[in-house]
Amino acid sequence: MLVTLPKNVCEECRKREATLLCDFIVGHNIDLVGKGKVGITTCDKKLCEKCARKVNTRDYCKEHFQKLKYEVI
């Protein structure tokens, strides 16, 4: 019996299809070659709907949700 895994597997549960990315900001970057714009870098851990922790319009992995809770309290 063959089990077919989703193309993008959730990095938390490793079972369901990942349709979201973690939005936690992990750093900033500057475009030194182009116009010099400052951008943000996010975690981008692949998450399924069930594993993602939602805060307003953003999605977070378990690790970064805990950090976010600590920062808010």
The three-class DSSP label of residue 47 is strand
pTM for the whole structure: 0.81
Q: What is the pLDDT of residue 32?
A: 80
Beta strands in the chain (DSSP E): 20-21, 25-30, 38-42, 46-47, 53-55, 58-60
User: pLDDT truncated to tens, each residue of the chain (73 aa)?
Assistant: 777 777 899 999 999 999 999 999 999 988 887 787 888 999 999 999 999 999 999 999 999 999 987 776 5
Q: What is the pLDDT of residue 70?
A: 74
In sequence order, the 6+-apart residues with CB closer than 8 A to the CB of 35 are none
